[in-house]
Structure 1
Amino acid sequence: MLNFFRSQSATAKNDILSGLTVSLALVPEAIAFAFVAHVSPIIGLYSAFFIGLITAIFGGRPGMISGATAAMAVLVTILVKDHGIEYLFPTIVLCGVIQIVIGTAKLGKLIRLVPHPVMLGFVNGLAIVIGMAQLDSFKTFNASTGELSYLSGLPLVIMLLLALATMAIIWLLPRFTKAIPASLAAILSITLISLAINSTSSTNRVATVGDMLTSNSKAAAVDPSTVEAVSIKGDLPTLFFLEYTMPPLNMETLEIIFPIALMLAGVGLIESLMTLTLVDEITETRGRGNQECIGQGTANIVCGLFGGMGGCAMIGQSLINVNSGGRGRLSGITAAVCLLLFILFLAPVIERIPMAALVGVMFMVVIGTFEWASLKMFHRMPFSDMAVMVLVAGYTIVMHNLAAAVILGVIVSALVFSWKHALHLGADIQINEFGSKIYQLHGPLFFASVSSFKELFDPSKDPNDVVIDFYYTRVYDQSALEAINVLAEKYQTLGKRLHLTHLSEECKLLLDRAGDLVEVNVSEDPHYHVATDRLG
Structure 2
Amino acid sequence: MLQFFRQRQRSIKGDTLSGLTVALALVPEAVAFAFVAGVEPIIALYSAFFLCLGAAVLGGRPGMISGATGAMAVVVIGLVEMHGVEYLFPTVILCGLLQIAVGSARLGVLIRIVPHPVMLGFVNGLAIVILLAQFGSFQTVSEAGELIPLSGPPLWIMLGLIGLTMLIIWGLPKLTRAVPSSLAAILTVSLVAAGINAGLGPDYVAEGQWNVVPTVGDMVATGKKDREATKARVTLEAEHEAKTAGRPSTELDPALVQAAVASALTAVEEDPESRSIAGGLPRPFFLEYANLPPVSWETLWIIFPFALTLAGVGLIESLMTLALIDEITETRGQSNRECLGQGAANVICGFFGGMGGCAMIGQSLINVNSGGRGRLSGIVAALALLSFVLILSPWIQMIPMAALVGVMFMVVIGTFEWASLKMFRRMPTADVLVMLLVAGYTVVMHDLASAVVLGVIVSALIFAWQHATHLNADIKINEHGSKIYQLHGPLFFASIASFKELFNPREDPDDVVIDFYYTRVYDQSGLEAINSLAEKYTALGKRLHLTHLSPECRTLLDRAGSLVEVNVSEDPQYHVATDRFTR
Q: TM-score, normalised by structure 2?
A: 0.89
- Equivalent in the alignment of 1:224: 265
- Equivalent in the alignment of 1:249: 295
Once residues 530 and 383 of structure 1 are traced to their aligned partners in structure 2, the CA distance between those partners, rounded to angstroms, is 28
What is the 5 A alignment of 1:507-526?
507-511=553-557, 512-513=559-560, 515=562, 518-522=565-569, 524-526=571-573
Deviation at 1:523, TM superposition (A): 6.0
Q: Give the counterpart letter for 1:17 in structure 2.
A: L
Residue-by-residue CA offset, 1:150-172 (whole Å, 9 max, x unaligned): 10111111110100110001001
CA contact (8 A) 1:72 1:264 kept: yes
RMSD, aligned CA: 1.4
Deviation at 1:9, TM superposition (A): 2.6
Indicate the larger mover: 326-335 or 462-471.
Answer: 462-471
- Which of these residues, 350, 359, 371, is aligned with residue 313 of structure 1? 359
Deviation at 1:248, TM superposition (A): 1.0
Once residues 296 and 493 of structure 1 are traced to their aligned partners in structure 2, the CA distance between those partners, rounded to angstroms, is 58
Q: Give the counterpart letter for 1:181 in structure 2.
A: P
Q: Give the counterpart letter for 2:218 in structure 1.
A: D
Once residues 363 and 129 of structure 1 are traced to their aligned partners in structure 2, the CA distance between those partners, rounded to angstroms, is 11
Deviation at 1:528, TM superposition (A): 4.4
Deviation at 1:524, TM superposition (A): 3.1
Deviation at 1:458, TM superposition (A): 1.2
What secondary structure is seen at the aligned counterpart in 2 of 1:5? coil
What is the 5 A alignment of 1:298-309?
298-309=344-355
- Equivalent in the alignment of 1:534: none
Once residues 519 and 21 of structure 1 are traced to their aligned partners in structure 2, the CA distance between those partners, rounded to angstroms, is 67
Q: Which runs of 5+ in 2 are unaligned?
A: 205-211, 233-263, 579-583
Once residues 563 and 572 of structure 2 are traced to their aligned partners in structure 1, the CA distance between those partners, rounded to angstroms, is 18
What secondary structure is seen at the aligned counterpart in 1 of 2:519? strand
What is the 5 A alignment of 1:131-280?
131-143=131-143, 145-201=144-200, 202-204=202-204, 205-221=212-228, 222=232, 223-228=264-269, 229-244=274-289, 245-280=291-326
What is the 5 A alignment of 1:118-517?
118-143=118-143, 145-201=144-200, 202-204=202-204, 205-221=212-228, 222=232, 223-228=264-269, 229-244=274-289, 245-511=291-557, 512-513=559-560, 515=562
CA contact (8 A) 2:549 2:574 kept: no
Q: Give the counterpart letter for 2:326 in structure 1.
A: D
Once residues 526 and 121 of structure 1 are traced to their aligned partners in structure 2, the CA distance between those partners, rounded to angstroms, is 44
What is the 5 A alignment of 1:9-88?
9-88=9-88
Indicate the larger mover: 424-433 or 23-32.
Answer: 424-433
Q: Give the counterpart letter for 2:279 in structure 1.
A: G
Indicate the larger mover: 160-169 or 224-233.
Answer: 224-233
Paired residues, what number?
530
Indicate the larger mover: 35-44 or 413-422.
Answer: 413-422
Once residues 402 and 276 of structure 1 are traced to their aligned partners in structure 2, the CA distance between those partners, rounded to angstroms, is 14
Q: Give the counterpart letter for 2:451 in structure 1.
A: A
Deviation at 1:529, TM superposition (A): 5.6
Q: Give the counterpart letter for 1:218 in structure 2.
A: K
Q: Give the counterpart letter for 2:152 in structure 1.
A: G
Deviation at 1:496, TM superposition (A): 1.6
Residue-by-residue CA offset, 1:160-201 (whole Å, 9 max, x unaligned): 010011000100111111111111111111111111111122
Deviation at 1:288, TM superposition (A): 0.6
Q: 1:203 to 1:247 in 2, by over 3 A?
A: same
Q: Which runs of 5+ in 1 are unaligned?
A: 532-536
* Percent of matched pairs sharing the same residue: 67
What secondary structure is seen at the aligned counterpart in 1 of 2:140? strand
Once residues 517 and 39 of structure 1 are traced to their aligned partners in structure 2, the CA distance between those partners, rounded to angstroms, is 64
What secondary structure is seen at the aligned counterpart in 1 of 2:179? coil
Deviation at 1:345, TM superposition (A): 0.6
Once residues 45 and 523 of structure 1 are traced to their aligned partners in structure 2, the CA distance between those partners, rounded to angstroms, is 70
Q: 1:396 to 1:516 in 2, by over 3 A?
A: closer
Q: Give the counterpart letter for 1:9 in structure 2.
A: Q
Indicate the larger mover: 346-355 or 220-229.
Answer: 220-229
What secondary structure is seen at the aligned counterpart in 1 of 2:108? helix
Q: Give the counterpart letter for 1:206 in structure 2.
A: V
- Equivalent in the alignment of 2:246: none
Q: Give the counterpart letter for 2:174 in structure 1.
A: R
Q: Give the counterpart letter for 2:167 in structure 1.
A: A
Residue-by-residue CA offset, 1:118-138 (whole Å, 9 max, x unaligned): 111100110010000000000
Deviation at 1:462, TM superposition (A): 1.5
Q: 1:440 to 1:247 in 2, by over 3 A?
A: same
What secondary structure is seen at the aligned counterpart in 1 of 2:141? strand
Once residues 9 and 566 of structure 2 are traced to their aligned partners in structure 1, the CA distance between those partners, rounded to angstroms, is 64
CA contact (8 A) 1:51 1:66 kept: yes
Deviation at 1:433, TM superposition (A): 2.4
CA contact (8 A) 1:191 1:352 kept: yes
What secondary structure is seen at the aligned counterpart in 2 of 1:404? helix
Once residues 534 and 563 of structure 2 are traced to their aligned partners in structure 1, the CA distance between those partners, rounded to angstroms, is 11
What secondary structure is seen at the aligned counterpart in 2 of 1:445? coil
Q: Give the counterpart letter for 1:524 in structure 2.
A: D
Once residues 274 and 428 of structure 1 are traced to their aligned partners in structure 2, the CA distance between those partners, rounded to angstroms, is 43
CA contact (8 A) 1:475 1:530 kept: no
Deviation at 1:525, TM superposition (A): 4.8
CA contact (8 A) 2:52 2:379 kept: yes
Once residues 464 and 48 of structure 1 are traced to their aligned partners in structure 2, the CA distance between those partners, rounded to angstroms, is 72
Indicate the larger mover: 520-529 or 157-166.
Answer: 520-529
What secondary structure is seen at the aligned counterpart in 1 of 2:514? strand
Once residues 568 and 482 of structure 2 are traced to their aligned partners in structure 1, the CA distance between those partners, rounded to angstroms, is 15
CA contact (8 A) 2:535 2:563 kept: no
Once residues 397 and 5 of structure 1 are traced to their aligned partners in structure 2, the CA distance between those partners, rounded to angstroms, is 23
Residue-by-residue CA offset, 1:362-399 (whole Å, 9 max, x unaligned): 00000011111111111111111111111111111111
Indicate the larger mover: 438-447 or 300-309.
Answer: 438-447
Deviation at 1:438, TM superposition (A): 1.2
Indicate the larger mover: 499-508 or 20-29.
Answer: 499-508
What secondary structure is seen at the aligned counterpart in 2 of 1:458? coil
Residue-by-residue CA offset, 1:301-325 (whole Å, 9 max, x unaligned): 0000000000000000000001000
Q: Give the counterpart letter for 1:138 in structure 2.
A: F
What secondary structure is seen at the aligned counterpart in 2 of 1:2? coil
Deviation at 1:10, TM superposition (A): 1.5
Once residues 522 and 303 of structure 1 are traced to their aligned partners in structure 2, the CA distance between those partners, rounded to angstroms, is 63
Indicate the larger mover: 407-416 or 200-209.
Answer: 200-209
